Amino acid sequence: KIARDKAQKPVVLSMALCVRKPELIKAIMETGCREKADVLAKAVKSNMPKLTRAASTKYGAANIAKRVAEMASEKETPLLLSFLDNLAPVTDKTLPSDELIDACFEIQRNRPDSKGDLDASYIVPILSGMKRDALVQKLSDFVKGGDEMFKVSLRRMSERLGRYALIFRDEPDPSEPTLRGMSSCEQMVYLHRLDFQKVGIPQKRYLDAIRLCLEDEEVFNDRVVQATLDYISGKFLEGESLPLAYLRTIILVLSKHESLHSWICHVLLPRLVEGKIYEDKRQWEGWMRCAKMLEGGKDSGVSSLEAIQKLPEDKLAIYRAKYPKK
């Protein structure tokens, strides 16, 4: 702490000069990224909000983003990312501008990794300002990017949509998408619908991404999960196929959210029977497993027995052959 306090004053003074002469930012990043300069790097990051706010006010966020990116070497990438992140802080009431969004994509294209792949980290800061249909196309990149990248990207997409967390918003005009960001409910819906094979994601990673969301109960709480399952099942009744992970998610939810047991028993399972879930072998297996897990709770009034009895006679026979009534 003493070392950090000593580093603060010269860093603050240097950053003040950077607002007048942006080319000096290069020296700060270079020094902060040297070996054994951890204390200095922390001092630079802690003062980054002030620098980015002043620099973007004077030169424009998009302009200063591109200028700093041109100066930063590969080794200085962590501080460049910190700079970009602070250009679109969560505290801002306005969305990142289209100019800043375009600038971050340009930076991403100009800084491929050693394999020639694009690093999604460069566009994370502006995700809340992107159109939802564009975010859907990019979702697979964040799933591929590792757990931390994935969680940070989801947080950024939804950071200004807290009041829409339980809603899947409809585009006013589907032919001209205008919705920005992606609510928590929308994230879960699109993750389930992800064509993981088409985008080269292993099935395990697809399932793990959904599991990571379910484990973050602060964001993806029982109400968000219910809204997600409800929306997808409604689309199933309209003729859409259920996503591969759908029944698996219900099974995981049963162990996490007892508060949803009654709704699953009395609303969701009967709705899936209405949609003839038994015509899809894999989903039917999942449905039977869910029904079995909940069948024994009739004494408490929370039992899947009512849903089971809605099955056609031949399907009920298959269910009872697999799970005999005790």
Q: Kindly tell me the burial class for residue 212, based on how many C-beta atoms sit within 10 Å of its own C-beta (0-12, 13-18, 19 or more).
A: middle
Give the model's pLDDT for residue 25.
84
Tokens 């990116």 correspond to 69
35-39, 191-195, 234-238, range with the lowest pLDDT: 35-39
Each residue's pLDDT tens digit, 201-230: 999 999 999 999 999 999 999 999 999 999
Res. 6: pLDDT tops 60: no
| % the chain with pLDDT above 90 | 71
| % the chain with pLDDT above 70 | 93
Q: What is the mean pLDDT of residues 34-57?
A: 79
42-51, 145-154, 266-275, range with the lowest pLDDT: 42-51
134, two tokens: 């564009």
CA distance linking residue 242 with residue 71, whole number of Å: 48
What residues contact 291, with CB distance under 8 A and at least 6 apart? 269, 304, 307, 308, 319, 323
Q: What is the mean pLDDT of residues 3-12?
A: 58
Give the model's pLDDT for residue 11.
65
20, two tokens: 């007048």
Give the model's pLDDT for residue 2.
47
Res. 100: pLDDT tops 60: yes
Res. 324: pLDDT tops 50: yes
308, two tokens: 């089971």
Neighbouring C-beta atoms of residue 158, cutoff 10 Å: 21
Res. 81: pLDDT tops 90: yes
